[in-house]
Amino acid sequence: MAPSDSIKRRQFLGRSPLLAAAASAAVSSRPTSAQVNNSAGVSTKRVGLGFVGVGIRGNLLMEAAAGIPGVELVVAADCYRGHLERARELFPAVATTGDSHEVVGRSDVDAVVIATPDHWHLPMLKEALAAGKHVYVEKPMTHSWEEGEEFIAATEKSGKVVQVGSQYMSMGCAREASALIRKGGLGQVTLVEGRFHRNSSTGAWYYPIPPDASPETVDWARFLGSAPRHDFDLRRFFQWRLFWDYSGGLPTDLFVHLVTATHQLMGVQEPDSVVSFGDIYHWKEYREVPDQMTAMVRYGEGFVLKLTSTASNAHRGPALTFYGSEGTLEYDGDSFKHFHEPRAENFTYPTRSWPTATVGRFRELMNLDEKLRPVDGPPKAEAVEYTSPNDEDSTRAHVRNWVEAIRTGGKPIEDVRFGHHAALVGHMCNLSYKAGKTVRWNKKTRKVEI
């Protein structure tokens, strides 16, 4: 018996659970969990900065801060004499010291930038806050997930401005991409993919060791701090990201950027569960952390984040891809591509076993063309590309946001709670990798469950 003529095409689609329209309202109404960096220079009031750790990243942060009006680079501390010499070459007026206590103790230092190995972040933050200084702490904020609540408590007690240093929060296209997702431009986003690949010895963290490095130029005991005791080892000092004692490897150094951007654009913070796989496949010499890892992160808001990183291939691709029921967003921070891709029906496959007359009747009822596609289906749209009109370096923008928050008493774009949750995902990746099973975050107890 032929179906009733009263059955309309849209009624049919609405009744089919496999073809039901996605509920994009949940996406468009989802609140954001952090602001998007869009601050403009509001003051040139002097802010004196002290730096603890002026290696690779600390050096870049000094250069970024030096370009901000009203900022004075006062003093820099490091455990390697060569880093201090380079700081003086770049900024002759900067005082240098091998003792970080001298940085936080100076009255002309208003704020401290911490760019040390990860195991020093929490003790340095506590010391700086106790001395009445504002703090910028490089990502990952924590060396273990348990440190997160200590960071939050110390910061809230101090009343100081603490910025977590993941510059992906201050990328030029963050505002536009975030708004597009929040307004439902992608429909319901159920999958996000992030990648961060490298293919070089330095990309695998085998940084070259300076020829003058020795017990005379490296303060080994100060570098170790509270970390487990080891004999003097220049590889551990200059290539510290290879070792668990000072680093969380790929998840906390590289994944954290992708997680930060995902949390920002999707308006979320806390994961539900994480499962990861990895190993030391290619760069095997004396390293402890994997050189390749893949993880799946599940969020209660209704999507999964897939993260992957390898140190043996550098194929280019978007840093993050957001897949939604109405389109796709390929995001690289300073640019993105938006593909409008609403649901496109084609009934050729499911009706191939029907009699010709039945197919014809179905085609008439559903208003389909000769290829059994909806006549009034959505046209295929070309990708829309957006490039940030702001050419400011994201690291400088991130530091500037912090400085302006200090001057105005405002909030930084990446506070310690946001930084804790971004690092938390990385720590959960490592815990899953080591335990060989899924780990979960209990939002009530604020603890990881293995």
pLDDT in tens, 26-56: 333 333 334 455 544 467 899 999 999 999 9
pLDDT at 18: 28
| Percent of the chain residues past pLDDT 70, beyond the cut | 91
Q: Is residue 52 a contact partner of residue 112, using CB atoms and an 8 Å limit?
A: yes
CA 14 to chain centre: 38
Rounded distance between C-alpha atoms, residue 203 and residue 307, angstroms: 17
What are the two backbone dihedrals, phi and then psi, of residue 352, each rounded to the nearest 5 degrees?
A: -65, -20
In the chain, DSSP finds a helix count (H) and a strand count (E) of 15, 16
3-state secondary structure of 429: helix
The single-letter DSSP state of residue 8 is -
pLDDT in tens, 108-166: 999 999 999 999 999 999 999 999 999 999 999 999 999 999 999 999 999 999 999 99
Q: With 70 as the cut, is the pLDDT of residue 24 above it?
A: no
Q: Is residue 215 a contact partner of residue 229, using CB atoms and an 8 Å limit?
A: no
Helix-strand-coil split of the chain, %, nearest 5: 35, 20, 45
Rounded distance between C-alpha atoms, residue 311 and residue 96, angstroms: 35
* DSSP E strands, 234-287: 273-279
pLDDT at 16: 33
Four-point Cα dihedral 193, 194, 198, 202, nearest 10: -160
Four-point Cα dihedral 265, 279, 122, 228, nearest 10: 180
3-state secondary structure of 107: coil
For residue 339, give the nearest of 323, 324, 330, 328 by alpha carbon. Answer: 328
CA distances from residue 33 to 30, 270, 400, 419 in whole angstroms, order as listed: 9, 10, 20, 11
pLDDT at 360: 96
| Percent of the chain residues past pLDDT 90, beyond the cut | 86
Domains assigned to the chain? 27-31+172-224+234-342+380-390+416-449 (3.30.360.10), 47-170+399-408 (3.40.50.720)
Mean pLDDT of 77-85: 98
Structure tokens at 449: 């469950």
The per-residue DSSP string of 315-383 comes to ----SEEEEESSEEEEE-SSEEEEEE-------TTTTTTS-HHHHHHHHHHHTB-TTS-BTTPPPP-PP
Q: Is residue 159 a contact partner of residue 411, using CB atoms and an 8 Å limit?
A: no
Rounded distance between C-alpha atoms, residue 440 and residue 446, angstroms: 11
pLDDT in tens, 155-212: 999 999 999 999 999 999 999 999 999 999 999 999 999 999 999 999 999 999 999 9
